[in-house]
Amino acid sequence: MDSLCEQNTAVAWGSYRSPREAFEAVVRTHMKDAYFIALGLVGNREDALELSQEAFYRAYKHFDQLNDQERFFPWFYQILRNLCFSHLRKRRLRRAESLDELDSEPPQFGPADAFDPEMVAERNESKDRVWRAISRLDEKHREVIVLRHFRQLSYDEMARVLFCNRGTVTSRLYYARQRLKEILEGSPETDGFADGSADELRKGGQRV
């Protein structure tokens, strides 16, 4: 599987008849990642779909300004995250509101053998607790959890996307995990999430 930040290198701008065709190829490459990142940030399926579509629309308007193909996703991510966090601030979401409208099960995009319906059904309650805990993190700590545990970005990829160094990523992720442990203290899923498993979340948004 190609890394998220490198997937778009397969798109050769010159091989398409128009910028529109090239952009459509980029959308096909990143649409699932964009949706699930937005879902992780705002916690609402309809909002995530709308915001990811709006991010692609805004990116298309300025697509001709992008000269470096390999920088597409970090550039696009800034558009997406700004839309998501602006959305949250404008609505003044309450602590648990990010879960109230979230369907009990995110759409599945992974291979058939990567998803166990019985396991997910058994973990619905614990999954909701994790979602609620994530919704209580501040912006910079929520996004590192989403990028690492939802989309499985490497530390170096996260540094590229967030325009910071690896040490900053490590520090933010450590703090975010510690904060989640505090919120979920005493629950059986805490340790699993803190060490990177978070099966109930990854299987809902597994990269393919």
- Torsion sign, CA atoms 11, 14, 16, 20: positive
Residue of higher predicted confidence among 129 and 50: 50
In a domain? residue 50: yes
Q: What per-residue confidence (pLDDT) applies to 16?
A: 63
Per-residue confidence (pLDDT) for residue 157, from 0 to 100 = 93
Q: What does the pLDDT read at residue 187?
A: 54
The stretch 18-33 carries a mean pLDDT of 84
DSSP 182-197: HHTTT-TTHHHHHTT-
Given a cut of 50, whether residue 191 has pLDDT beyond it is no
Average pLDDT of the chain to the nearest whole number: 73
Residue 148 forms part of a structural domain: yes
Q: What is the pLDDT of residue 79?
A: 95
Cβ pair 201, 130 in contact under 8 A: yes
- Output the CA torsion sign for 113, 132, 189, 197: positive
Per-residue pLDDT at 196: 40
Indicate the SS3 state at residue 153.
coil
- 28 domain residue, yes or no: yes
64 domain residue, yes or no: yes
| Domains: count for the chain | 1
| Cα 36 to Cα 13: distance, rounded to the nearest angstrom | 26
Given a cut of 70, whether residue 144 has pLDDT beyond it is: yes
pLDDT digit string, tens, across residues 53-87: 999 999 999 887 777 666 888 999 999 999 999 99
**pLDDT tens digits, 84-136:** 999 988 865 444 454 455 544 444 434 433 334 444 444 556 677 777 788 88
Kindly report the pTM of this predicted structure: 0.67
State the residue range of the domain holding 36.
Answer: 7-202
Q: Given pLDDT bands bounded at 50, 70 and 90, which one contains residue 21?
A: confident
The answer as to whether 121 is a domain residue is yes
Considering the domain boundaries, does residue 207 fall inside one? Answer: no
pLDDT over 90 (residue 147): yes
Residue 42 or residue 206, greater confidence: 42
Looking at the domain assignment, is residue 1 inside a domain?
no
Residue 2 lies in a domain: no
